[in-house]
Amino acid sequence: MDNRFSIIISRWAIAMALAATSNFGTLAIGQDVSFDFARLVEYRDVTPPERLKRAPHERLVEMKLPISVRFQGLTSGEIEHLDFEIDGTSAGIRVERFSPTTVLAADAIAVESITKTKRERSLGATLSGTIPVPVGPLSAEVGPSVSAGTSKTNENTEKVKRIPPKRPIVVSGTFAKGQGVFFKFKQSSQTTFEGVHVLEVTFAVPADWDGRGVRVACTARGNKPVLWMDKPAVFGHVDDAIEFYSGGKAKPRDEAAAPPVHQASFFWTATEGIKHAAENAIAEFPL
């Protein structure tokens, strides 16, 4: 009885360790990042009249997607960046423009100054020696001579101002041959990960586009200490499809009422991993 109980506890502890250190980015115990965004989003037709005349088969639609990020049970410094992707590959649409674009910032505000002093030395000269100079009935001979005691020093001061170095806090760009756009928010003392991040994208779509086929993925990445080293970890992930409806039209009630998906199905939370390991251990060694 005691041996079986010890084996169950040991297997349970091993399963906990494996769940916390999995290569698939399993969430750590007590640590979670949740993402929340609408699965039905309004868009506006922003096609200029001249473009519509030139290309009547295509139009520009603009959408705004607020994504709410919430941390639970995290210690400071573990999350390094948030990755967001909006992908229109399956719909065959193209990214025209997006916001926010790449943002650079510096923690320091003051301009760094360096003062340099330049010194110039000049030497005094006198005449003496062999040049005859008549002075009345007498003549004197003078020639050039150098006197170090009569030197002069001129000092010029230069001030060099350097702007504090900047680093990216937001990096964005396209992928999949311009059909998708990514946004990477990096850790900074001037910004916060938690809260709402508003992403804006303008797509070039076919005139008969029905508002479907756009995928949104959100991932929180960082490092988690494991024994004596830091190991890359995924603290939260969502990958789901969204649909669009034209501004001014009634929102489809059945689709708008669909419950949001907060966690991708192929990721286990720490609680699920522990429960699964305990059930397997009990099934293999029944009391």
Q: What is the pLDDT of residues 105-151, one digit of tens each?
A: 777 666 666 666 666 665 555 545 555 555 555 555 555 555 555 55
Reported confidence tier of residue 56, pLDDT bands at 50, 70, 90: very high
Asked if residue 64 and residue 19 are part of one domain, the reply reads no
Q: Return left, alpha or beta for 59; rule: phi > 0 is left, psi -120 to 50 is alpha, else beta.
A: beta
Least reliable range by pLDDT among 41-45, 221-225, 243-247 = 221-225
Asked if residue 252 and residue 184 are part of one domain, the reply reads yes
Asked if residue 1 and residue 96 are part of one domain, the reply reads no
Asked if residue 45 and residue 172 are part of one domain, the reply reads yes
Asked if residue 84 and residue 204 are part of one domain, the reply reads yes
Asked if residue 213 and residue 92 are part of one domain, the reply reads yes
Tell whether the model's pLDDT for residue 2 goes beyond 50: yes
Name, in order, each residue with C-beta under 8 angstroms of 282's C-beta and a sequence gap of 6 or more: 8
Asked if residue 284 and residue 237 are part of one domain, the reply reads no
Range of 169's domain?
A: 30-107+164-265
Q: Is the pTM of this model over 0.85?
A: no
Asked if residue 223 and residue 184 are part of one domain, the reply reads yes
- For 61, the token pair is 């639609």
* Coil, helix or strand at residue 188: coil
Q: What is the pLDDT of residue 38?
A: 95
- For 15, the token pair is 């399963």
Asked if residue 169 and residue 47 are part of one domain, the reply reads yes
**Through-space distance between the first and last CA atoms of the chain, rounded to whole angstroms:** 7
Question: How long is the chain?
Answer: 287
Reported confidence tier of residue 21, pLDDT bands at 50, 70, 90: very low
- The half-sphere exposure of 224 on its side-chain side, counting CA atoms within 13 A, is 22
The mean pLDDT of 26-49, rounded to a whole number, is 82
β-strand partners of 35: 69
Asked if residue 195 and residue 153 are part of one domain, the reply reads no
Asked if residue 277 and residue 135 are part of one domain, the reply reads no
Tell whether the model's pLDDT for residue 165 goes beyond 60: yes
The total of structural domains in the chain comes to: 3
Domain of residue 192, CATH code: 2.60.40
Asked if residue 84 and residue 100 are part of one domain, the reply reads yes
The mean pLDDT of 38-60, rounded to a whole number, is 94
Measured distance CA(75)–CA(83) in Å, rounded:
19
Which of 126, 142, 160 is the last residue before a domain boundary?
Answer: 160
